[in-house]
Structure formats: structure tokens, C-alpha cells
Amino acid sequence: GVSMAEGEGLVSVDYEVFGKVQGVFFRKYTQGEAKRLGLVGWVQNTSHGTVQGQIQGPADRVRELQEWLRKTGSPQSRISQAEFINEKKITALEHKDFQILK
């Protein structure tokens, strides 16, 4: 439930990752890392070769995933940059889990 996260401050942020991030299990690894951190949201490939999505959860955990999206990614990926926009405080999570969208 969300009760654990109360008081920590929940945030929502949209992201887009550029580089060699398609066809390298990037979405699967992102989902795994998000679940490990207890975050919710989604990830999908775009038609222009990037990966984008949304992350929601306790601010400090969201920061961890942002750092991971900037530097780590999946083993075969090569990230050139990660952009984060529309960051805002939220009172409740808007997703049940972290999904890979087709």
C-alpha cells in the first residue's frame, strides 16, 4: 500500500532516454529496477528510437531510478542522455504497478 510512503513525499516525473536503448531489453530492465525500488509507472519504446515513460513514488526512490536511467540501463544499452520533465508532487500514486506498454 501507499501508507509506507506517506510523509516521504510522492512525486511523478516523465522521462525519455536517448541512445541505443531499443532492442536491448531496456524496458524489461527498467521495469525490474522500478519494481525493486517499489515505484510505479510505465515504460515504452517510441517510434523515433527512444524509450519514454513515467515514474511515480517516494522522491528519494524516484531519484535513484532517474540516476539509473541516466547512467546504467540494461547491460547492452548505450545511453546518450536522459531527460526528465513534468516533475510534480502528487498525493497518491496514479498507477498500480510498473508496466511495459507496447
Does residue 4 have a pLDDT over 70? no
Distances (CA, A) of 50 to 6, 17, 22: 33, 6, 7
Which position among 45, 63, 70, 86 bears the catalytic label?
Answer: 45
Q: Tens digit of pLDDT for each residue in 32-83?
A: 999 999 999 999 999 999 999 999 999 999 999 999 999 999 999 999 999 9
Model pTM?
A: 0.91
Q: Residue 97 — φ and ψ, nearest 5°?
A: -150, -165
Active site residue 86: no
The pLDDT, as a whole number, for residue 5 is 47
> Which domains, and CATH codes, for the chain?
10-95 (3.30.70.100)
